[in-house]
Amino acid sequence: MSTPSALDSFLDKWRTRWPEWQVAERFVPEHQRTLVVAWFSLLQEFDDILNTAGDPMPSDAKLAWWGEELRSWSAQRSRHPLGRVLEPVLAPWAQLAETLPDLIQARAVPVDPAQALRALQAYAAAVAAVEAVMFDTPARGDVATAVLVQTLAQRLHESGVAAIPRSLLAEDDTAAPRKWAQQLLAKWPARVAGPRPRRLYAALARARQQTWAQDRQYQATPMRTLWRTWWAARG
């Protein structure tokens, strides 16, 4: 039996968190599938750093390392297994690296929803800029908004109260999680713009957010996922 490669371990970690992708990836050209999962695996690394609990120092050090790694990709000097797949894409990696410190600042409980959105605005724009090059699509501001809302929704799910604006907690701390989830959904169109991989990923993430906002358990059947991602793939 063969031993999984270092790259496979990162890709499989993301696939384990998103089992629905097994259905969704049918709408991604076969030659792009590894690239797409590598990219989303990298973003998951950043999500984990943003949503770290306990002592933040190891995560902060890891984020600093990632900043150096991304800057090295323009000179084709990747060290990480994900870089072997992503580095050949001539994307604005340095721009993304410059926004990574925002993830540390965004861990602080925001004063209000507007501050929560501002804290990760530059990061989301940098992610959208990379995807525009990676998937050869025009850069659009509404793609950055979709990335931003998805990142905040994932943070709410992973970090709970720490992700909720203080203004909502002050109004009613028991209703605040659902209210924040619903506000994020209101900014998150059912069909987002951007390249097909982003549309597919957003459709899956938004479906999860809808169930969390309604205080229901998320259940994704293959048929529901197939319908949802087919609809998203149409653009």
| pTM for the structure as a whole | 0.94
* Residue 31 falls inside a structural domain: yes
In this structure, the number of other CB atoms found within 10 A of the CB of residue 21 comes to 21
The pLDDT assigned to 3 comes to: 47
Angle at the Cα of 40 from the Cα atoms of 87 and 198, rounded to 5 degrees: 105
| 70 and 82 Cβ atoms separated by less than 8 Å | no
**H helices within 51-140, ranges in order?**
57-72, 81-86, 93-99, 101-105, 113-119, 121-134
Domains of the chain: total: 1
- CB-based contacts of 124: which residues, under 8 Å, 6+ apart? 144, 145, 147, 148, 151
* Residue 54 falls inside a structural domain: yes
Helices (H) and strands (E) in the chain, counts: 14, 0
- CB-based contacts of 176: which residues, under 8 Å, 6+ apart? 161, 164, 168, 169
Look up the domain containing 181 and give its range.
27-233
| 133 and 90 Cβ atoms separated by less than 8 Å | yes
pLDDT tens for the chain, residues 1 to 235: 344 588 999 999 999 999 999 999 999 999 999 999 999 999 999 999 999 988 999 999 999 999 999 999 988 888 999 999 999 999 999 999 999 999 999 999 999 999 999 999 999 999 999 999 999 988 777 899 999 999 999 999 999 999 999 999 998 888 999 999 999 999 998 888 899 999 999 999 999 988 877 767 667 788 989 999 999 999 7
In this structure, the number of other CB atoms found within 10 A of the CB of residue 68 comes to 10
**CB-count burial class (<10 Å; 0-12, 13-18, 19+) for 137:** middle
* Residue 130 falls inside a structural domain: yes
| 70 and 94 Cβ atoms separated by less than 8 Å | yes
- Residue 129 region by backbone torsions, left for phi larger than 0, else alpha for psi between -120 and 50, else beta: alpha
* Residue 158 falls inside a structural domain: yes
Distance CA 165, CA 87 (A): 36
Distances (CA, A) of 123 to 94, 101, 119, 159: 12, 9, 8, 19
Nearest to 29 by CA among 190, 195, 193, 192: 195
Burial 178-208 (b: 16+ CB within 10 A, else e): ebbbebbbeebeeebbbbbbbbbbbbbbbbb
The pLDDT assigned to 218 comes to: 67
In the block, tokens 């209000």 appear at 112
* Residue 5 falls inside a structural domain: no
* Residue 1 falls inside a structural domain: no
* Residue 167 falls inside a structural domain: yes
* Residue 127 falls inside a structural domain: yes
Distance CA 143, CA 131 (A): 9
